[in-house]
A and B are shown apart, each in its own frame.
Chain A
Amino acid sequence: MKAIWKIILSLAAVVLALFVVTFTVYFFNLDMKLTAAIEPFLLKHYDKIKRDSHL
């Protein structure tokens, strides 16, 4: 019985921790702040790709 409770409590703790982390990311818009930081590197990368540009 004790072991079952331990598993349930551990699961609840994991779910709670996941909620706290994801809700913090959501509320403070951290996902968008991160992707905004990535964008310039991607754009530089696209500039380096060789293309067959023509009409």
Chain B
Amino acid sequence: MAKQIGADRLGDFYTTGRVRKRREWRGLADTMYDYSCWLKIMLILGKFLMCPRNIKAMFRYRWMANYLAVPMMVDRHTQGLRGEYLRIAHTEFDLVVDDVAKLLSNLFRADRRIGNDVEFSKKCVLVDENEMTAVMMGFPTLKGLSRETVSTYVPVLQNQHAVLHYLDVAQDYGLAGDVCPMPAAEAGVSIDDDAPILGACAIQCNTTCDGSLLGNGVIAKRLELEDGVPCFQLAAPLRHREDDVQEYAAQEIRNAIAFIEEHTGEKWDWKYYFECARRVNVATESRLGWLEMNKTDYPQVFGSNLALYTETNYMAICGKIPEFEKADRKITALAEKAYKKKMRAAKEYRHRAIVWGVQSHYYMDFLLWLLNCWGIVPLTDMLSMVSTRRLAEEDTPENRETAIYDMAWLTENMIMRNRTHGGYKVLLDELWEFCEEFNADMVILWEHMACKALSGFHGQFEEMARERGIHLVWVTHDLFDPRVVSRQGVRDQVNNYMRTVFGEEPIDPTLEVLPDQESW
């Protein structure tokens, strides 16, 4: 119960049940700030529940139960934070909560089972969860809505058990148990008749992996053959750094735009596109500024504050929502203020780490745990090291052609796949370059055991880390399924390394072993 960073024994808040004992006392100013943000989230949720169709959806869709845990998700990502770090986290998370609430409201408005607003549904285009939404940057009157984001992606952030039911359903229907649980859960939602039905058309993509493609096949079959929603398969090249694939990638974008125009009757709007492109550039510049700070002794926007926000802003928002530009500027101002004061987010920084690989989705607050428990500063993560290319933002005939290539580039460089696909250089070589740039002495290497894209590189990672004298800590997990590797199982891999190799004691020993097996 103190104002100072690191004064609380954070493990004492845990219970063996779903939720924590109580919220933190962070000193008067920070507690009042956190309380005011909690009130704001309660107002967002209250406003959401005031709409009868949202209540109807709450009782129709199983995944909606996970939204009961929204405030706790924010608490988990603000654990131990004070001052500017707390404000950065709330700026991001509160905005994401608001954005997801709007996404849900739009989906239910158009959903044939819930709101059944037919005219509105004709203005909706379904997009994949793991898909850059760049092809929607020129359609100001259309809504690009992702059913998978609200039914699988966000629920697992809120509740580690969120999609277990859907994984079981998918396996009951014969899908293999060792595929990536993300597309498996998405397919499970569709098989279990638990996806909203809406939209003039859908744009699916291959941007994640072959597992995702197979999941999309299951979903597309139902969408096209039963629901009458035509699907376009946007196939972005895998060797995305090669010049000879770019024309093909650009043609895919042209085809996707033509498909949307054909099925919605809307026309591509270049003015709106360049407005969005300018906002994407602001987001890129902001992110580059934060990463520059993280190369110094006083990193400011890192851990979950960098990872989750970048994922949302880069992929799902893609310049379309002006509020994110305001948030980018606010975060930068807060970070610069903290940097000038030489502030630190934890009482002790012991190691500087690059977090690589595909993160465990059911344990996204692990990055904060690394910091609070062992003083490991997660300077940046693989999913935040995305495209830094500046998009053309002035409307000229030449730039219209460049813009097609820019959208293709963004689509090819979707979060995660820009590293898991594209070859040796993007996954291995650049990791060591980042270690040098960020002066990192550790790599926390997520090993998503069902991801076939990374498993082949295991030995090479170890060999190259050894050559460079970098501590490489493997952290195995199963992305959406904590039954395979629990959160404690994730923590134990770091605990063992820190104790046996470094011979260190934790900064906060109450965090080393936590009874959070049943926790949301």
Q: Is B35 an interface residue (CB 8 A)?
A: yes
Contact with B along A30-55 (1 / 0, CB 8 A): 01110110110011011001011111
CA distance A35 to B158 in the complex (A): 13
- Segment touching A, from B13-21, B201-209, B438-446, B453-461: B13-21
- Known A-B contacts A29-B22, A31-B71, A53-B169; the reply to A36 vs B191 at CB < 8 A is no
Q: Is A5 an interface residue (CB 8 A)?
A: no
- Segment touching A, from B57-65, B254-262, B471-479: B57-65
Chain B residues in 8 Å Cβ range of A54? 173, 191, 193
One of A23, A32, A46, A53 near B20 (C-beta < 8 A):
A32
Chain A residues in 8 Å Cβ range of B68? 35-36, 38-39, 42
Q: Is A22 an interface residue (CB 8 A)?
A: yes
One of A32, A43, A51 near B194 (C-beta < 8 A):
A51
User: Cβ of B19 and Cβ of A33 under 8 Å apart?
Assistant: yes
Chain A residues in 8 Å Cβ range of B174? 55
Dominant secondary structure at the A interface? helix
CA distance A26 to B174 in the complex (A): 45
- Measured CB to CB, the closest approach of chain A to B98, in angstroms, equals 18
One of B38, B60, B520 near A49 (C-beta < 8 A):
B60
- Measured CB to CB, the closest approach of chain A to B189, in angstroms, equals 11
Chain B residues in 8 Å Cβ range of A27? 22-23, 25, 35
Dominant secondary structure at the B interface? helix
User: Cβ of B19 and Cβ of A36 under 8 Å apart?
Assistant: yes
CA distance A42 to B67 in the complex (A): 12
Q: Is B449 an interface residue (CB 8 A)?
A: no
Interface size band for B: 20 to 34
User: Cβ of B35 and Cβ of A52 under 8 Å apart?
Assistant: no
- Measured CB to CB, the closest approach of chain A to B186, in angstroms, equals 14
CA distance A29 to B20 in the complex (A): 7
Chain B residues in 8 Å Cβ range of A45? 59
- Known A-B contacts A39-B65, A39-B68; the reply to A53 vs B191 at CB < 8 A is yes
Nearest residue (CB) in A for B17 is A36
Most buried by A among B20, B65, B169, B193: B65
Chain A residues in 8 Å Cβ range of B191? 53-55
User: Cβ of B69 and Cβ of A51 under 8 Å apart?
Assistant: no
Chain B residues in 8 Å Cβ range of A38? 68
User: Cβ of B69 and Cβ of A35 under 8 Å apart?
Assistant: yes
Chain B residues in 8 Å Cβ range of A31? 42, 71
- Known A-B contacts A22-B39, A29-B20; the reply to A53 vs B192 at CB < 8 A is yes
Number of interface residues of A (CB under 8 A): 23
Chain B residues in 8 Å Cβ range of A43? 62, 65
User: Cβ of B69 and Cβ of A32 under 8 Å apart?
Assistant: yes
Chain A residues in 8 Å Cβ range of B60? 49
Chain B residues in 8 Å Cβ range of A36? 17-19, 68, 520
Chain B residues in 8 Å Cβ range of A29? 19-23
Nearest residue (CB) in B for A54 is B191
Q: Is B218 an interface residue (CB 8 A)?
A: yes
- Measured CB to CB, the closest approach of chain A to B32, in angstroms, equals 9
Which residues B157-193 have CB closer than 8 A to chain A? 169, 173-174, 191-193
CA distance A51 to B179 in the complex (A): 25
Chain A residues in 8 Å Cβ range of B234? none
User: Cβ of B38 and Cβ of A51 under 8 Å apart?
Assistant: no
User: Cβ of A42 and Cβ of B65 under 8 Å apart?
Assistant: yes
CA distance A49 to B62 in the complex (A): 10
- Known A-B contacts A26-B38, A38-B68; the reply to A32 vs B218 at CB < 8 A is no
Nearest residue (CB) in A for B31 is A27
One of B22, B58, B520 near A28 (C-beta < 8 A):
B22
CA distance A46 to B173 in the complex (A): 19
User: Cβ of B62 and Cβ of A46 under 8 Å apart?
Assistant: yes
- Measured CB to CB, the closest approach of chain A to B169, in angstroms, equals 7
- Measured CB to CB, the closest approach of chain B to A48, in angstroms, equals 11
Nearest residue (CB) in A for B39 is A22
- Measured CB to CB, the closest approach of chain A to B64, in angstroms, equals 8
Which residues B1-47 have CB closer than 8 A to chain A? 17-23, 25, 35, 38-39, 42
Q: Is B86 an interface residue (CB 8 A)?
A: no
Chain A residues in 8 Å Cβ range of B428? none
Nearest residue (CB) in B for A38 is B68
- Measured CB to CB, the closest approach of chain B to A55, in angstroms, equals 5
Chain B residues in 8 Å Cβ range of A35? 68-69
5 contacting pairs across A/B (C-beta < 8 A): A27-B23, A27-B35, A31-B42, A54-B173, A55-B218
Measured CB to CB, the residues of B under 8 A from A are: 17-23, 25, 35, 38-39, 42, 58-60, 62, 65, 68-69, 71-72, 169, 173-174, 191-194, 218, 221, 520
- Give the 7 A-B CB pairs with smallest separation, nearest first: A35-B68, A36-B18, A51-B193, A32-B19, A46-B62, A42-B65, A52-B193
Given A27-B35, A51-B194, A55-B218, 18 further pairs, Cβ under 8 A: A22-B35, A23-B35, A26-B23, A27-B22, A27-B23, A28-B23, A29-B21, A29-B22, A32-B19, A32-B71, A32-B72, A38-B68, A43-B62, A51-B193, A52-B193, A53-B193, A54-B193, A55-B221
